[in-house]
Structure 1
Amino acid sequence: MFNQVLNEAINLVNKGETEEGLNLLANILPTLHDEEKLQLADQYFQWGIIDKAHDIIEELHFLYPEETQITLFLAELYLDLEKEEQAIELLNQIPIEDEAYPQALLLLADLYQMQGLAEVSEQKLQEVKLLLPDEPVIDFALGEFYFHQGQYKHAIPYYETIIMVSNSFSGVFIDQRLAECLSSIGEFEEALDYYKQAADKHEDLTTLFGYAFTAYQGGFSKTAIQQFLKLKEADPHYSSLYLYLAKAYEQEGLLQESIKTVQEGIKFDEYNKELYLYGAKVAIKSGYMNDAKQLLRESLAIDPGHIEAALTLTNIFLQEEEFDDVIDVISECKKYGEEDPQFEWNLARAYHQKEEYTQALNHYQLAYNSFKDQRDFLYEYGYFLMEESRRKEAKEVFGRILRQDPSNVEIGEILLQLEDEF
């Protein structure tokens, strides 16, 4: 009779008459046999009513401490209730000769990993692998462990073992995992084979992006473009694709398509400063300097301390002899605490051209330590010092050039001239 009432109550909950069903279960609980209580606890667990399942299983564990399946169930409930220490203590009581011992090791591995004890977790998994060397669930657990630890090379053999049996495990596609692992260690061609398999079977957005990005990384830009375009067609709001699609177009020499892709990407991701910066670089390469300046200003509007954008923009201003703009952009960037030796060199050039020689000298001096082995800088700085009649300092700078290039006749003559003055 009670079994019939139990089943009736469970059916009520499953049909959506939750309150009535749960009330009936609460009323009949004291009358249930222990096996029926175990059935009810499992049902509570499936419904996500963990506390009620826990109360029943804790009682059953007290009555049947030798029943390891009940012990394992209680440990899982402790895990869901975030009582990791109690779960670990319970699982460590299961003896090595018990048939449930491997399952206990798997649970312990999960628990130790949750606690950040990766080495202990790995030890438990390797121990259970020795006990059950041909069990796919163990290979999957080890593959997943190493994958999530970023140890992709270690994960690959376990996934390769699994894929010979099945292409999916616990909802995870193994070909996709292998593709990600191989891509992460730079084995792009082999990764692409697995991505192709994965994309043919389950063309989800993550797989498409991984396939396209790996092709881009491996220099297979035509494949990258093809897959990024598929991804864009599937979901144009997948904003991460636009930067790499633009880069793939550039690799193929398709600069107009690259710029157009950047413009499309900005519509979906208007605060992506790297997209503006990259678009500016392609615009410079294409000779569209006004577009480049606009894109760089947009990047700096998003992040006024963006050093690369500031340097790229000031380099354009130097070429176009817009020296006040050079000073303004770098000054603004410095307000945000950003410093770069190239800032000092660019400021020195700008002040030099504005004939503000004291300021120019100051910034050349600040740049000197960073660029004292760079010949272009030394030439420029040395001639500036000569113009300013700072002969002794000029001699030191030109001397550095000659030490780097002893056969430089031009610099040798300048140094002889400077020697005659002392």
Structure 2
Amino acid sequence: MFEKLEKAIKLVENGDISEGINYLHSLKQIANHEEKIMIADLYLKWGFLDEAKEIVIELLELYPDEGQLYIYAAEIEIEQENEVEALDYLDEIKESDPAYLQSLVIMADLFQMQGLDEAAEQKLLKAKVLAPDEILIDLGLGQFYADIGEYKKAIPFLNKVIERKEEVDSNAHLLLADAYVHIGKFEDAFVHYEEGLKDNIELNALFNLAFTAFQLERYEYAIGKWNELKELDPEYIPIYLYLAKAYEHEGVVEESYNIIKQGLQIDPDNKELLVYGGKMAMKLKKHDEVERYLSKAIEIDPGYIDALSLLSSFYLYNEQYEEIILLLEKAIADGEYDPQFEWDLANAKKQLDLYKEALNHYENAYTSFKDSKEFLEEYGYFLLEEGDREKAKAMFRKILEIDPANIEIEEELMRLEQW
């Protein structure tokens, strides 16, 4: 029979699917019970679920206490997206059955798919009690806790898998690396990303390896890995923003700007790339490009605070005070708000001699910037110009609380106190 099954397999693998399946149908008529399970396996593998189910149900009627048959039946129901029926089959397996452990793991997967995390955890922990040294249970628990964001719980189980020094799936290293990243242990994450990528390149893991290097300020290494990933998949968009940031950290601003332009060729409406492009254009004094990038980002997302704030600071640098007012007052009217808007509007209106309005914005900004020396100094001198010496002195005193060595402010305060 094995040779006949091999013939069916070869027919399907060679593309003669219809002939292979028909041949398998004919074998079903002469197969014994053990051989029928092998045929059901092939049906399941090739997606002929109804044919597989027919065999398994037939055998279950003959062997109602055979746990492995219930496993087969449950797997078929899962493939057909009948989770409730799958659980019913798994519930039939007795604790004394060798298939019981496997049933607990499958149940845990099903419960997790349904969002029943507590029930899934209970099944896995029960499996751990029954088979405390089973490496696949440790891997399952590690995966489960990582999936629900309990990274500190995941780490001991994943470490146990790796410490066994058996044939370890690279996935265990990558899961462990991800868990370490989420709790901020980047050095440990870096080691396991490298280990997990030794024999198999997985794009997300390669990105995460580079990101971990970036967090560790190993910018040159990160650049190398992100460029490697860019060669493998030029349309992997997250690369471009972080690669640009890494180049900026290395002081290669022109290359950072070029990387952003490459990313925007693939995804021209990526607002994060547009804002970073504006930032790099500002550093390179490409003023026309700054406004073009940032205006487009705001057009895509009128409430994008980073774009609004950066464009406002650009206008401030270029003394375009009317543009600041138009930009930020429209944003506020549209329901967008950031305390920096108040400070920028105060500055712009002060420059345009709109002192009452400027004062109102400074007062609104004060709550958010009362610990900023730069704001307190600007606000203090504005108050002084407006004749409010007492309030100006209060601002200067606050500066000295923050920075007692500020001689210029100390002298200004002394002059005011002598009046």
- Does the pair score TM above 0.5? yes
* Match runs of 1:91-240 below 5 Å: 91-163=90-162, 164-168=165-169, 173-240=171-238
Q: Tell whether the 8 Å contact from 2:186 to 2:212 is kept in structure 1 after alignment.
A: yes
Letter in 1 for 2:228: K
The percent of aligned pairs where both chains have the same amino acid is 40
Q: Tell whether the 8 Å contact from 2:376 to 2:399 is kept in structure 1 after alignment.
A: no
1:350 to 339, 348, 351: 348
Q: Tell whether the 8 Å contact from 2:173 to 2:196 is kept in structure 1 after alignment.
A: yes
Inter-partner Cα distance in structure 1 for 2:218 and 2:72: 50
Q: Do the aligned partners of residues 92 and 383 (structure 1) sit closer, same or farther apart at CA in structure 2, a change above 3 Å counting?
A: same
Inter-partner Cα distance in structure 2 for 1:125 and 1:183: 24
Q: Tell whether the 8 Å contact from 1:34 to 1:60 is kept in structure 2 after alignment.
A: yes
* Match runs of 1:14-93 below 5 Å: 16-19=15-18, 34-35=33-34, 37-93=36-92
Q: Tell whether the 8 Å contact from 2:264 to 2:273 is kept in structure 1 after alignment.
A: yes
Letter in 2 for 1:202: N
1:312 to 310, 323, 326: 310
Compute the displacement of 1:90 (Å): 3.0
Q: Which runs of 5+ in 1 are unaligned?
A: 418-422
Specify the alignment match of 2:294 in structure 1. Answer: 296
2:359 to 358, 361, 377: 361
Letter in 1 for 2:412: E
Letter in 1 for 2:211: F
Specify the alignment match of 1:420 in structure 2. Answer: none
Compute the displacement of 1:159 (Å): 3.4
Q: Tell whether the 8 Å contact from 1:402 to 1:412 is kept in structure 2 after alignment.
A: no
2:268 to 267, 270, 292: 270
Inter-partner Cα distance in structure 1 for 2:231 and 2:326: 42
Specify the alignment match of 2:407 in structure 1. Answer: none
Inter-partner Cα distance in structure 2 for 1:31 and 1:233: 54
1:329-370: CA deviation from partner (whole Å, max 9, x where unpaired): 213433542111211221122122112334333433433443
Q: Do the aligned partners of residues 363 and 186 (structure 1) sit closer, same or farther apart at CA in structure 2, a change above 3 Å counting?
A: closer
Letter in 1 for 2:272: E
Inter-partner Cα distance in structure 2 for 1:360 and 1:210: 46
1:8-53: CA deviation from partner (whole Å, max 9, x where unpaired): 8777666655456656777886887655544443332122122332
Letter in 1 for 2:110: L
2:251 to 245, 250, 253: 253
Q: Tell whether the 8 Å contact from 1:276 to 1:296 is kept in structure 2 after alignment.
A: yes
Inter-partner Cα distance in structure 1 for 2:255 and 2:6: 64
**Structure 1 SS opposite 2:98:** coil
Q: Do the aligned partners of residues 232 and 400 (structure 1) sit closer, same or farther apart at CA in structure 2, a change above 3 Å counting?
A: same
Inter-partner Cα distance in structure 1 for 2:260 and 2:243: 9
RMSD between aligned residues: 3.4
Letter in 2 for 1:148: D
Greater mean alpha carbon deviation, residues 144-153 or residues 283-292: 283-292
Q: Do the aligned partners of residues 117 and 329 (structure 1) sit closer, same or farther apart at CA in structure 2, a change above 3 Å counting?
A: same
Q: Which runs of 5+ in 2 are unaligned?
A: 405-409
Q: Do the aligned partners of residues 104 and 329 (structure 1) sit closer, same or farther apart at CA in structure 2, a change above 3 Å counting?
A: same
Inter-partner Cα distance in structure 1 for 2:42 and 2:353: 84
Letter in 2 for 1:410: E
Letter in 2 for 1:41: A
Q: Do the aligned partners of residues 95 and 397 (structure 1) sit closer, same or farther apart at CA in structure 2, a change above 3 Å counting?
A: farther
Inter-partner Cα distance in structure 2 for 1:5 and 1:190: 52
Greater mean alpha carbon deviation, residues 395-404 or residues 345-354: 395-404
Letter in 2 for 1:234: L
TM-score of the two chains, using structure 2 as the length reference? 0.83
Q: Do the aligned partners of residues 212 and 86 (structure 1) sit closer, same or farther apart at CA in structure 2, a change above 3 Å counting?
A: same
Inter-partner Cα distance in structure 2 for 1:15 and 1:298: 53
Q: Tell whether the 8 Å contact from 2:321 to 2:352 is kept in structure 1 after alignment.
A: yes
* 1:410 is aligned to 2:412: yes
Aligned length: 410
Q: Do the aligned partners of residues 63 and 366 (structure 1) sit closer, same or farther apart at CA in structure 2, a change above 3 Å counting?
A: same
Q: Do the aligned partners of residues 85 and 227 (structure 1) sit closer, same or farther apart at CA in structure 2, a change above 3 Å counting?
A: same
**Structure 2 SS opposite 1:201:** coil
